[in-house]
């Protein structure tokens, strides 16, 4: 290919090559291939988001004929709503427990499973089963396990002298209990991600560390494994945060926001406002606030962790 020659002062710059019919056809073909995904993106993401934005500035309720614009009144009501503040506090407490516990525990399990040779596949299936468990089966199992009188967990606690506890009926234990269930659900998925990250670490790095004298497992983990797992850890942390912030199913099935709204989360409040009280406009406002919180915290996590990641 002949390099382009810069135009000298006073000379007319060389004309750009004209696009041929083949170039136009390839451009149209690219647009055609991308168009179905673009239309799907508009219908499933951008469109509903615009509808939420419009509804949040109205007083629309399900079934109402007349709709009026109320400006920022829904947002002012949300900021002054004590139930909204309670649900935000419950959600943040749940996230504060689930994210570090899930990430660290799944990393620990992944390291143990990765060292297995013959039984690795068996343990991968066992730990991944909760990810594939249906909601109804999971709820029925945990309701039985945590039952104050019949549950084996309380039976064991009573046998060792700690007494029985109503985990899902006590305001002080309901969020930690739901968080423990959340960690159980996320453990297998995060473990698989960490296993993929561990498999991508070159073995010659560990061989070089052995030559340099880093033979202790803790030294190898802190100086080699943990830094090289930085991108995987960042991805697992951000996805776990988003998943934990979207807690809804366990609350809806196991506690329904009780007792005394001690387990009511943001998504469950949105569900109640929209599908129980039919306050569609206020529910849309809460949804926008929820999306804003998720976007801010996820972006802050990515920026903060990206500075500490070794690629």
Distance CA 67, CA 196 (A): 52
List the beta bridge partners of residue 58: 69
What pLDDT is stored for residue 311 in this prediction? Answer: 53
21-42: average pLDDT: 87
- The residue with greater pLDDT, 129 or 18, is 129
Provide the mean pLDDT of the chain.
Answer: 86
The confidence band for 62, taking pLDDT boundaries of 50, 70 and 90, is: confident
73-79: average pLDDT: 92
Q: Is the pLDDT of residue 74 over 50?
A: yes
Instruction: Count the alpha carbons within 13 Å of 126 in the hemisphere toward its beta carbon.
Output: 8
List the beta bridge partners of residue 12: none
263-278: average pLDDT: 92
151-180: average pLDDT: 91
Least-confidence region, from 5-9, 274-278, 303-307: 5-9
Least-confidence region, from 2-11, 201-210, 228-237, 251-260: 2-11
Asked if the structure places residue 42 within a domain, the reply is no
What pLDDT is stored for residue 63 in this prediction? Answer: 77
Length of the chain: 311
Q: Other CB atoms closer than 10 Å to residue 212's CB: what's the count?
A: 10
Contact by Cβ (8 Å): 60, 281: yes
Both tokens assigned to 286 = 């809460």
Domain that holds residue 256: 75-306
Q: Which of 177, 289, 163, 309 lies closest to 231 in space, CA to CA?
A: 309
278-298: average pLDDT: 90
Q: Rounded to whole angstroms, what are the CA distances from 58 to 66, 70, 182, 273?
A: 10, 5, 36, 15
Asked if the structure places residue 173 within a domain, the reply is yes
Asked if the structure places residue 70 within a domain, the reply is no
What pLDDT is stored for residue 1 in this prediction? Answer: 45
The confidence band for 139, taking pLDDT boundaries of 50, 70 and 90, is: confident
Give me the number of domains the chain comprises: 1
Q: Is the pLDDT of residue 16 over 60?
A: no
Asked if the structure places residue 112 within a domain, the reply is yes
Asked if the structure places residue 274 within a domain, the reply is yes
**Which stretches within 46-173 are classed as H helix?**
47-55, 73-80, 82-114, 120-132, 135-145, 152-159
What pLDDT is stored for residue 7 in this prediction? Answer: 53
List of residues 6+ apart from 163 with CB closer than 8 A: 157
What pLDDT is stored for residue 67 in this prediction? Answer: 86
Q: Is the pLDDT of residue 94 over 60?
A: yes
Q: Is the pLDDT of residue 10 over 60?
A: no
Phi and psi (nearest 5°) for 19? -75, 130
Percent of the chain having pLDDT more than 90? 42
Q: Is the pLDDT of residue 69 over 70?
A: yes
List the beta bridge partners of residue 69: 58
Phi and psi (nearest 5°) for 58? -125, 175
- The residue with greater pLDDT, 231 or 1, is 231
Q: Which residue has the tokens 């009144």?
A: 73
Which CATH number does the domain housing residue 223 bear?
A: 1.10.3720.10
Find how far residue 235's CA is from the centre of its chain: 10
Could you please report the per-residue DSSP string of 20-53?
A: PHHHHHHHHHHHHHHHHHHHHHIIIIIHHHHHHH
What pLDDT is stored for residue 9 in this prediction? Answer: 57
Least-confidence region, from 26-30, 56-60, 287-291: 26-30
271-288: average pLDDT: 92
Both tokens assigned to 13 = 């710059």
Asked if the structure places residue 2 within a domain, the reply is no
Asked if the structure places residue 159 within a domain, the reply is yes
Q: Which residues of 191-208 are buried (b: 16+ CB within 10 A; e: fewer)?
A: bbbbbebbeebeeeeeee
Phi and psi (nearest 5°) for 66? -90, 135
The confidence band for 13, taking pLDDT boundaries of 50, 70 and 90, is: low
What is the reported pTM? Answer: 0.85
The confidence band for 104, taking pLDDT boundaries of 50, 70 and 90, is: very high
Asked if the structure places residue 234 within a domain, the reply is yes
3-state SS class at 236: helix
Q: Which of 174, 171, 173, 155 lies closest to 163 in space, CA to CA?
A: 155
């Amino acid at each position: 290919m002949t390099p382009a020659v810069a135009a000298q002062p006073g000379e007319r710059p060389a004309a750009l090559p004209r696009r041929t019919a083949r170039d136009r056809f390839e451009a149209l073909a690219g647009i055609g291939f991308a168009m179905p995904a673009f239309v799907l993106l508009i219908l499933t993401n951008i469109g509903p988001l615009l509808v939420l934005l419009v509804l949040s500035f109205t007083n629309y309720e399900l079934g109402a004929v007349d709709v009026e614009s109320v400006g920022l009144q829904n947002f002012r009501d949300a900021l002054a709503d004590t139930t909204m503040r309670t649900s935000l506090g419950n959600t943040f407490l749940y996230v504060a427990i689930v994210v570090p516990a899930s990430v660290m525990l799944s990393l620990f399990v992944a390291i143990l499973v990765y060292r297995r040779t013959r039984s690795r596949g068996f343990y991968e299936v066992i730990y991944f089963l909760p990810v594939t468990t249906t909601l109804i089966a999971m709820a029925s199992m945990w309701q039985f396990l945590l039952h104050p009188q019949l549950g084996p967990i309380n039976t064991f606690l009573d046998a060792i002298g700690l007494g029985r506890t109503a985990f899902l009926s006590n305001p002080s234990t309901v969020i930690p209990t739901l968080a423990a269930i959340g960690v159980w659900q996320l453990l297998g998925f995060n473990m698989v991600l960490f296993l993929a990250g561990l498999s991508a670490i070159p073995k010659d790095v560990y061989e070089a560390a052995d030559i340099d004298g880093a033979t202790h497992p803790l030294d190898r983990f802190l100086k080699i494994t943990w830094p090289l797992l930085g991108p995987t850890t960042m991805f697992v942390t951000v996805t776990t945060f988003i998943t934990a912030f979207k807690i809804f199913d366990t609350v809806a099935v196991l506690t329904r926001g009780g007792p005394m709204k001690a387990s009511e989360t943001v998504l469950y409040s949105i569900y109640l406002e929209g599908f129980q009280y039919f306050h569609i406009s206020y529910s849309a406002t809460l949804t926008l606030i929820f999306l804003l919180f998720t976007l801010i915290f996820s972006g802050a996590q990515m920026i903060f962790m990206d500075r500490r990641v070794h690629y």
